[in-house]
Structures are given as structure tokens and as C-alpha cells.
Amino acid sequence: MSNPVEIVLVYQSLLGIYGDRGNAMVLLKRLQWRGIDATLTVVEPGDTVPATGSVYLLGGGEDAAQVSAVRALKADGNLFRALDDGAALFAVCAGYQICGNTFTIGEHDEVIEGLGVLDVDTRRGSVRAVGEILSRWTRSDGAEVLLTGFENHGGFTTLGPSATPLARVEIGVGNANDGTEGAVQGRVIGTYPHGPVLARNPALADHVLSVALERDLEAIERPEIDELHRQRVAAVRRQGLRR
């Protein structure tokens, strides 16, 4: 019998102020619907991060929380070991920023060295990005999927040559008002939207699981979830027309 798929929610009290814990619950449920045994491990500051996880999740937080999380994760080291062993990492907003090479904090824009698992850098933007965002994500099979969420970030993120955008923005700001949103590098995926974003976008949730498990997953027939996604896309487009 194979071991359960372990989903690791990292530093919920530091990086969990926007309800991003919901991303872990979505992944857990979508595995259970498929009859795949799964567990959720919640790691708080001071706890050892397990190196045995299949998927690691980082959420949103404030400046001080970002710095504390980076220091703790570097001192612990197990997140890096897990990624080297083939785990996936899904990071949202502040979690996305700290995965990069550098990010800035405070009114004096102090530059902080990040985890370095995404080739991105974040600096204070010209405007604060607040509001609904709609982007277009192209799956590995070539199909285009619309992604929705709520962005709330003051940092603008630029991608280096080793990272590629997750999606292209239709409505909203995204990375740096340059038409891109999020970043992908190997098994690391970063994105700005909350929502939680995986609850809003089941196709993206299944993609994260597929990356972690290194195989395609069978489709789940949940028409009510598909309808909610369609309604959310329509609502974001209506709001975009009023901007």
C-alpha cells in the first residue's frame, strides 16, 4: 500500500492572513474525491518542516511575516530538500514574493534575499494592485483556461530567464502591469490571486496535484463547481467593463 499524499501548509500564522489555507483544503478534497489517500500537515514557526511532503503551500502575509518566514525556512532547510526530491511548491502573493531571489519591505524599500527557488525579483510598484483579476493560463495540453482571483499587493514582480509566466492578464495588474501573472520554474508555481485561488480555479488545483504526483489525474465531474467558475469569470468581466 502506497503512502498517503502529504500536503504541507507552511507557517499558517505568518502566511495565512487572506484565507489561503483554503488552498490546502481544496487539494485534500480533490484527492479524496479520486479515492487517493491524503493527509494535511500544518507547520507553524518553531516546528520542523517535514521533508516528506508532496505539495508545499505558502500563503499571503505582511512584510515582517515575510522576513520571519524566509529566515525560518532557510534555517530549517527541509523545504529545499523536499523540492530537490521532487515535491511541488504552490505559493501565493507574499509567499510568491519570498520564493524569488529578492523582495523589498518597508517604506525605505529594504532589499531582502528570498528563498531563490523562483527566478523573480519584487520591488515596490507604481500603484497598489487591488481588485479582481482575470488571466488566461495555457495548460500543457494546449487548452486555455481562465483563472480568477483577488489581488492585493504593492510589490511588482519581474521574471528572470529561468522562470516563465503562469498566465496572461486580461483584467487586473498581475506581476508588474506587463500583461503577465505569476511564475513557474520546475515544480514551483507562484501566483498573486487570493480567493482562495485553488477554490476558484479547480483546473489549476488539479494541475498542482499533477505536478506533485508526476501524472495526469482523471477528470472529476462536478458541474456545480464548473458553474460557479463560469459565474465568477462573468462577474469579473462585468467589473472590468466598469473600470
Residue 241 pLDDT = 61
- Of 37, 76, 90, nearest to 197 by C-alpha is 90
Residue 120 burial (10 A CB sphere; 0-12, 13-18, 19+): buried
Q: List the catalytic residue out of 99, 153, 194, 229.
A: 194
Query: Which SS3 state, helix, strand or coil, does residue 128 take?
Result: strand
Phi/psi-derived region of residue 161, left when phi > 0, alpha when psi is between -120 and 50, beta in every other case: alpha
Helix H or strand E encompassing 137:
strand 120-138
Number of helices (H), then strands (E), belonging to the chain: the values are: 7, 12
194 noted as active-site residue = yes
Q: List the catalytic residue out of 93, 99, 153, 229.
A: 93
**Does pTM surpass 0.85?**
yes
The CATH architecture to which 5-242 belongs is 3-Layer(aba) Sandwich (3.40)
93 noted as active-site residue = yes
Instruction: Report pLDDT digits (tens) over 90-138.
Output: 999 999 999 999 999 988 899 999 999 999 999 999 899 999 999 999 9
The ranges assigned to domains in the chain are: 5-242
- Of 232, 235, 212, 216, nearest to 224 by C-alpha is 232
